[in-house]
Structure 1
Amino acid sequence: MRVLVVGGSGFLGREVCRRGVQAGLSVVGTFHRTEIGVPGVAERRLDVTDRAAVRALVAEVRPDAVVATPYRYDDWTVTADGTAHVALAAAEVGARLVHLSSDALHGGRPQPYADDEPPSPVNAYGAAKAAAETAVRAIDPGAALVRTSLILGEGSKQIQLCRDALAGRAVLFTDEVRCPVDVTDLADAVLELVGSSYAGLLNVAGADAVSRAELGLLVAERFRLDATGLKTTTAAAVGVVRPSDVRLDSTRAAGLLRTRLRGVRELLA
């Protein structure tokens, strides 16, 4: 099977490329600026905002499946329009599509979100991710749409943010709750979905819901760092407009997938 990973130089995309090669797949990965650097991956430069370029590359590669991970936090054209371009191109060649979405499209509440709940974005990034989902579902009803959370692992921005907060260089919010997932677990789940016929929305996140501040304490314990200097505040206090309490219920994924979605407390034990 030939798999095209759009956004292969990203944190998750690179891991999907790596795990795909290990599984014996023929993997083509795209990058915009930074090359992927995974042995066995055929690399192609691509600007997902260029619809013609996306169509041309997908038509040339003729993948059996496409894993779509493109996003840029502050750029609608990459996150929303770019995803639509990829979905259209995949549909034109009849490729299986697995799209990576985000818990950021929810507004936040104490109760966990089920897989099929409609978006309720509170900022531009969440709205862009919601628009991307709308485009994918309209273009390819058979696509799998993976809603995930904070992604952890070696080189994770989330772990580095915690380290910075422990060193007094950043702050962590006590009122922002997520369900962190390990990058290898998420990549394996994505590749399972590539080989399946699952269609529609699916929450794929870790089993534990923790605040960013709690995550910082777990990082301190895991790496034996001094937690006394941990800087915390609330998103409300500093006026940051982001989803607050977003807990993804991944029960359906746990029953569907062989990959076990470990909780953050196990990951950082």
Structure 2
Amino acid sequence: MTLLVVGASGFLGAEVCRQAVAAGGRVVGTYHSAAVTVPGVAPRRLDVTDRAAVRALLTEVRPDAVISTPYRFDDWTVTADGAAHVAYAAAEVGARLVHLSSDALHGGRPAPYLDDEVPTPIYAYGAAKAAAETSVRAIDPGAVLVRTSLIVGEGSKQIALCHDALAGRATLFSDELRCPIDVSELAAAVLELVPADYAGPLNVAGPDPVSRAELGLLVARQSGLDPAGLKTTTAVAAGVQRPAEVRLDSSRAAGLLRTRLRGVTELLAP
């Protein structure tokens, strides 16, 4: 089997590559600026905003499956248009597509979001992720759209941000709630979905909803650091317009997948 990982130099993409190589597959990984460093992966530079280049690469590689992970927080052309280009090219060569989406496309509420709820974005990045999903579903109804949350693990920017807040170099919001998931578990779940016949949106996130400030306290406890210096505020006070409470109900994924999705309180146990 030939697997193409689009965005292989990213945090999740690299972990997907590592696990796929370990399973014995032929893995081709794309990058844009940062190089792919996973042994056993054939690296290929790709600009996902260049539709012709995306089509040319997939026509050459002829992958059996494509895992699409690239995004750029402040760039619509990468997040939305790039996803459409990958979906179109994957459909053209008949490849199974697993598209990585985000809880950012929801507007936030106290009740958990189910898998197939309609996006309600309230800021630009969420709108770009919602547009990406719309394009992918229109181009390839058989694709699976993995809606996930904050990705944690060794090397995670989320954990790094917590350490910065504990050192007084950053501030965490106490009113912004998410369902963090470990990068290795998310990668394993994504790879499980490649041979599956599931189509459409699927929530794949941790079972424990925590605020970013609470995540900082868990990191402090795990690392043996004094939490007294943790800098916190609220998104409202900071004037940041992002979804507040976004809980993903991942019970369908938990029943479908062999991979166990652990809660962040277990992941960050001392």
Q: TM-score range by the shorter chain?
A: over 0.9
Letter aligned with residue 219 of structure 2: V
* Partner SS state of residue 97, structure 1: strand
The alpha carbon displacement at 1:58 in A equals 0.4
* Partner SS state of residue 252, structure 2: helix
Q: For residues 32 and 191 of structure 1, what CA distance do their matches in structure 2 show?
A: 22
Q: Give the structure 2 partner of residue 40 of structure 1.
A: 40
1:240 aligns with 2:240: yes
Letter aligned with residue 212 of structure 1: R
1:119 aligns with 2:111: no
Q: Give the structure 1 partner of residue 65 of structure 2.
A: 65
The alpha carbon displacement at 1:40 in A equals 0.4
1:199 aligns with 2:196: no
Letter aligned with residue 26 of structure 1: R
Letter aligned with residue 239 of structure 1: G
* Partner SS state of residue 114, structure 1: coil
Q: Give the structure 2 partner of residue 170 of structure 1.
A: 170
CA deviations 1:171-230 (Å, max 9, x no partner) are 000000000000000000000001111101100000100000000000000011111000
Q: For residues 154 and 233 of structure 1, what CA distance do their matches in structure 2 show?
A: 25
1:4 aligns with 2:8: no
CA deviations 1:237-267 (Å, max 9, x no partner) are 1110111100000000000000000100010
Letter aligned with residue 268 of structure 2: L
Q: Give the structure 1 partner of residue 153 of structure 2.
A: 153
The alpha carbon displacement at 1:53 in A equals 0.2
Q: For residues 197 and 10 of structure 2, what CA distance do their matches in structure 1 show?
A: 25
Q: For residues 38 and 229 of structure 2, what CA distance do their matches in structure 1 show?
A: 37
* Partner SS state of residue 228, structure 1: helix
TM-score normalised per structure 2? 0.99
Q: For residues 126 and 134 of structure 2, what CA distance do their matches in structure 1 show?
A: 12
1:267 aligns with 2:263: no
Q: Give the structure 1 partner of residue 89 of structure 2.
A: 89
Q: Give the structure 2 partner of residue 179 of structure 1.
A: 179
Q: For residues 30 and 123 of structure 1, what CA distance do their matches in structure 2 show?
A: 28
* Partner SS state of residue 258, structure 2: coil
* Partner SS state of residue 135, structure 1: helix
Q: Give the structure 2 partner of residue 98 of structure 1.
A: 98
Show the 5 A alignment for 1:217-236. 217-236=217-236
* Partner SS state of residue 128, structure 1: helix
Q: For residues 8 and 241 of structure 2, what CA distance do their matches in structure 1 show?
A: 29
Q: For residues 112 and 7 of structure 1, what CA distance do their matches in structure 2 show?
A: 29
CA deviations 1:80-117 (Å, max 9, x no partner) are 00000000000000000000000000000000000000
Q: For residues 210 and 265 of structure 2, what CA distance do their matches in structure 1 show?
A: 9
Listed as ranges, the gaps of 5+ residues in structure 2 are none
Aligned length: 269
Aligned-pair identity in percent equals 78
Q: For residues 65 and 220 of structure 2, what CA distance do their matches in structure 1 show?
A: 40
The alpha carbon displacement at 1:36 in A equals 1.3
CA deviations 1:3-45 (Å, max 9, x no partner) are 0000000100000000000111111000001111001000000
* Partner SS state of residue 206, structure 2: coil
Q: For residues 8 and 198 of structure 2, what CA distance do their matches in structure 1 show?
A: 22
The alpha carbon displacement at 1:77 in A equals 0.2
Q: Give the structure 2 partner of residue 189 of structure 1.
A: 189
The alpha carbon displacement at 1:152 in A equals 0.4
Letter aligned with residue 39 of structure 2: P
* Partner SS state of residue 67, structure 1: strand
Q: For residues 184 and 194 of structure 1, what CA distance do their matches in structure 2 show?
A: 16
Letter aligned with residue 57 of structure 1: L
* Partner SS state of residue 175, structure 1: coil
